Amino acid sequence: MLRAARVGHGVPEREVRDPARVPPLRLGADGTDRVVEEHRIRCTHFDAFRFYSPDAAPLNELQPTRAAQRDLEQPGCLHANMDLYKWAYKLGPAIPGELLMDCFELAWRVRTMDMQASPYDLSDWGFEPIAIETPAGKAAYVEAQRGFASEAAVLRERLTAALAPLEAASAEPSAAAPVGTDVTPQRSGRDPSTQRT
């Protein structure tokens, strides 16, 4: 249970959360700890792993770092697939609006499933749990994860194609002013070389 590892593994629930603001754990603190201890944890995404508690981090088979992120990213990761929207948004004007919205829509659905598979009971918020600690829940999760990975692969291809003109333009010799040329805008229409200081 990837998200359970972030809850606190071994940290008393009262120290981790404010019950008035955070939904209850579906399995309670002990049940959540048991799931983490009895299942293989293999998170490859740095931005997810960095929220693991100090007690839970060593239980992950990998210890992702920002420096190793490019090598560890894999297309089945929910968080890597949600990041397609982040990058499409950051690339703004270079990305067609329809592609940006397609990335957003996928990220929305992936985040929904991520919340359903979390250790928290979000049923009062309209999110029916996916009990990934059970064989049936794990199978449903994996099936959806594979579907998202397939959709994300198409979006990655579209993002790459949308960026190809920028890459080609950056490879062309620049028409910019030669190094050392002053291109500072002047306040008046006069030639700065004839002005007295």
Q: What are residue 25's DSSP bridge partners?
A: 120
Residue ranges covered by each domain of the chain: 1-73, 75-168
pLDDT value, residue 10: 47
pLDDT value, residue 183: 46
SS3 39: coil
pLDDT value, residue 185: 47
DSSP-assigned states of every residue in 64-133: --STTHHHH--TT-HHHHHHHHHHHHHTGGGS-HHHHHHHHHHHHHHHHHHHHTSSB--GGGT-----TT
pLDDT value, residue 9: 47
Q: Of 186, 119, 96, 110, which Cα lies nearest the Cα of 141?
A: 110
Tokens in use for 153?
A: 């692969």
pLDDT value, residue 171: 81
Do 35 and 4 form a contact (C-beta atoms < 8 A)?
A: yes
Tokens in use for 3?
A: 């998200």
103 CB-near residues (< 8 Å, 6+ apart): 84, 85, 87, 88, 89, 155, 159
- Per-residue pLDDT 10s for the chain (197 aa) are 444 444 444 444 545 556 667 889 999 999 998 998 888 889 999 988 988 888 889 999 999 999 999 899 888 999 999 999 999 999 988 999 999 999 999 999 999 999 999 999 999 999 999 999 999 999 999 999 999 999 999 999 999 999 999 888 888 776 555 555 554 445 445 554 444 54
182 CB-near residues (< 8 Å, 6+ apart): none
149 CB-near residues (< 8 Å, 6+ apart): 75, 76, 81
pLDDT value, residue 22: 83
